């Protein structure tokens, strides 16, 4: 059969397949692009031919661990790797890809081939199923967090000041961003300020800015974080660390939304929503005189308290799976999940660092894991130690129950003169069960 005819039929076959298929030369430049690939990416074949595939797909792996480039370099096949690509019309969609090298019968390397499927419909279905457990990037199935999810849309639509309380690592800034992103100010800046991370002497100028000549090194005017957040949201993290003198100035700002940059005699007006957050007990600080009561009430229009992770044990598997998916996409490692033993160890752990600590544990596991699932050796020593303590406690508990059962059987046999049938009836168990227990305890 004529070679040109063979190639024509081969192309017809590729265009019938409902998966996207494209090939590249050894340099990564596209040499073919089927109809399904055009539909999924919104690029026409003529637009991509001869271009490097990285410039078309723009995945988060293109510049680091590109599966197609690895297949061409190593000669290995890579299957069912999930990544996200940017389509021509600007959408970010999830796809599943499989790659392999292309070699001539002579062994000459011709390039590589990639087959990919659009997973958008599956992700939409999963989002609908999991929607009750998630508000933006905040994930939980516990009743306490579901109550927070319920009020968040209402909170986001208002312009009122919000105070978010919770231990370090519980996701206070994530919650503040979610409130901002779902409110009328979402197209304007979200400006975070960590009051505990900025020296007390610089905090006022950092918040309100300064004018040229306000102090020795003030060579020009500088906008403060309040001005940077104009028409948007100012997030004050660790607001309990504001020094008392600055608390007075910030109280005035909350009252009338005016402030004076350092070195200025003119008050400026600001249109800014304020969200404060603290891991400290502000009510206790008010009683101790280290936090102004009037400022506390100005901040505490609506308070949202985030519970620590150790009270949300049901969320540990949900969050662990979320972080596994995130790091799988970021690193390209084919880690599919976590073993039952490793998950049980995480469930036994109390997470003093809360969700941030769990995220770090999963990231560490991705570095160390050499298989397809995270196992006990991939976890940090403190988690393994707690798991072993739990195993010992369970073993002692089981041993204690065994001892009680053995004593009960011995007492029943004594009462009935060694008659196993009557002893079994006395204990409310079947005679064969009694015999198995006697063998177990070597009676």
Q: What is the pTM of this model?
A: 0.65
pLDDT in tens, 44-79: 999 999 998 888 888 767 766 788 888 888 888 888
Task: Write out the residue range of the structural domain in which residue 426 sits.
Answer: 385-440
- 281, 305, 329 - which closes a domain: 305
Residue 400 is predicted with a pLDDT of 45
* Any domain includes 93: yes
CATH (domain of 216): 3.40.50.300
- What kind and span of H or E run contains 422? helix 420-427
Contacts 24+ apart (CB under 8 A), 133-141: 133/318, 135/178, 136/174, 136/177, 136/178, 136/181, 136/182, 137/174, 137/178, 138/171, 138/174, 138/175, 138/178, 139/315, 139/318, 139/319, 139/322, 140/312, 140/315, 140/318, 141/314, 141/315, 141/318
* Any domain includes 129: no
Task: Report the distance separating Cα 164 and Cα 173, nearest Å.
Answer: 9
84 and 166, same domain (yes or no):
no
399 and 355, same domain (yes or no):
no
* Any domain includes 130: no
- 279, 305, 331 - which closes a domain: 305
Are 377 and 191 within 8 A, CB to CB?
A: no
Q: What tokens appear for 214 in the block?
A: 């306000």
404 and 432, same domain (yes or no):
yes
* Any domain includes 107: yes
> How many distinct structural domains can be found in the chain?
4
416 and 369, same domain (yes or no):
no
In Å, how far are 153, 198, 229 from 217, measured between CA atoms?
44, 18, 24
- 65, 90, 118 - which closes a domain: 118
176 and 254, same domain (yes or no):
yes
192 and 292, same domain (yes or no):
yes
- 332 phi/psi in degrees, rounded to 5: 80, 0
Smallest CA-to-CA distance from 156 within 61, 259, 273 is with 273
Q: What tokens appear for 45 in the block?
A: 């074949």
239 and 143, same domain (yes or no):
yes
Q: Could you say which residues of the chain have pLDDT below 50?
A: 1-5, 393, 395-401
Residue 402 is predicted with a pLDDT of 53
Task: Report the distance separating Cα 80 and Cα 98, nearest Å.
Answer: 5
* Any domain includes 183: yes
Q: Is the dihedral of CA 183, 186, 188, 192 positive or negative?
A: positive
Residue 234 is predicted with a pLDDT of 97
* Any domain includes 112: yes
162 and 257, same domain (yes or no):
yes
259 and 161, same domain (yes or no):
yes
3-class state of residue 226 by DSSP: helix
Residue 166 is predicted with a pLDDT of 95
Residue 303 is predicted with a pLDDT of 95
54 and 24, same domain (yes or no):
yes
* Any domain includes 127: no
Residue 165 is predicted with a pLDDT of 96
327 and 432, same domain (yes or no):
no
253 and 183, same domain (yes or no):
yes
CATH (domain of 419): 1.10.10.60
């Amino acid at each position: 059969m004529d070679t040109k005819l063979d190639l024509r039929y081969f192309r017809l076959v590729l265009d019938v397949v409902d998966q996207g298929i494209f090939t590249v030369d050894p340099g990564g430049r596209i040499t073919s692009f089927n109809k399904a690939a055009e539909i999924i990416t919104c690029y026409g074949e003529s637009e991509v031919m001869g271009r490097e595939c990285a410039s078309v797909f723009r995945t988060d792996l293109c510049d680091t661990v590109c599966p197609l480039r690895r297949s061409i370099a190593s000669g290995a096949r890579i299957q069912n790797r999930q990544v996200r690509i940017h389509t021509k019309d600007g959408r970010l969609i999830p796809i599943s890809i499989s790659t392999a090298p292309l070699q001539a019968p002579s062994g000459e390397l011709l390039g590589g081939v990639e087959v990919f499927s659009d997973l958008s419909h599956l992700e939409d279905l999963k989002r609908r199923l999991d929607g009750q457990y998630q508000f933006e990037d905040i994930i939980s199935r516990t009743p306490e967090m579901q109550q927070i999810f319920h009020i968040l849309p209402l909170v986001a639509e208002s312009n009122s000041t919000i105070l978010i309380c919770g231990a370090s690592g519980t996701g206070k800034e994530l919650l503040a961003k979610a409130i901002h992103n779902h409110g009328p100010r979402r197209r304007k800046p979200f400006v975070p300020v960590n009051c505990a991370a900025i020296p007390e002497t610089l905090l006022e100028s950092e918040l309100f800015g300064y004018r040229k000549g306000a102090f020795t090194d003030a060579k020009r005017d500088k906008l403060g974080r309040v001005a940077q957040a104009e028409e948007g949201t100012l997030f004050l993290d660790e607001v309990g660390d504001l020094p008392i003198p600055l608390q007075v100035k910030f109280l005035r700002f909350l009252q009338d939304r005016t402030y004076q940059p350092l070195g200025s005699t003119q008050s400026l007006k600001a249109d800014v929503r304020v969200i404060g957050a603290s891991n400290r007990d502000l009510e206790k600080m008010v009683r101790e005189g280290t936090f102004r009561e009037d400022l506390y009430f100005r901040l505490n229009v609506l308070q949202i308290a985030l519970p620590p992770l150790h009270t949300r044990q049901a969320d540990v598997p949900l969050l662990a799976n979320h972080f596994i998916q995130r790091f799988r996409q970021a690193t390209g490692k084919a880690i599919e999940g976590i073993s039952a033993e490793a998950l049980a160890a995480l469930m036994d752990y109390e997470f003093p660092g809360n969700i941030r600590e769990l995220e770090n544990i999963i990231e560490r596991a991705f570095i160390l894991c050499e298989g397809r699932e995270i196992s006990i050796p991939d976890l940090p020593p403190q988690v393994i130690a707690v798991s072993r303590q739990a195993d010992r406690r369970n073993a002692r508990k089981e041993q204690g129950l065994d001892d009680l059962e053995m004593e009960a059987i011995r007492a029943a046999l004594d009462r009935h003169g060694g008659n196993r049938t009557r002893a079994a009836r006395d204990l409310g168990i079947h005679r064969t069960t009694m015999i198995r227990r006697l063998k177990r305890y070597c009676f």
